[in-house]
Amino acid sequence: MFSIADETFGAARAEHVAKIGPLPLGTANRYTAWYMEATFKPEMTSAVHRRSGPGGWYVLSGEQGLETPNGKTVLRAEQDRARAGRLPHGAPRNRCE
């Protein structure tokens, strides 16, 4: 289950796993969210791409490499990242433990 809410929200019958964000949403009045899940095998990569809005990641296990024109970032298990949209990015390196 995903919830988009302020920090005081607590679901009655759920386990809190992670807080991702805050996402840099800007000043728009409406938003559309796409939730995606991906499983990468060791050394898999993704094509360079960009999204129109902000994005957030949460790594369950292993590591995720993320590369943008601003540099490379490696996220490890139970780490998250939020960033603004429109910046080209890709996954140049992913290792599973």
Please report the pLDDT score of residue 72 as a whole number.
85
- Domain residue limits, the chain: 1-97
pTM of model > 0.75: no
Please report the pLDDT score of residue 91 as a whole number.
65
Average pLDDT by stretches of 10, the chain with 97 residues: 72 77 76 80 81 80 84 87 75 47
> Which CATH number applies to 1-97?
2.60.120.10
Q: Answer whether 24's CB lies under 8 Å from 54's CB.
A: yes
DSSP state of 69: T
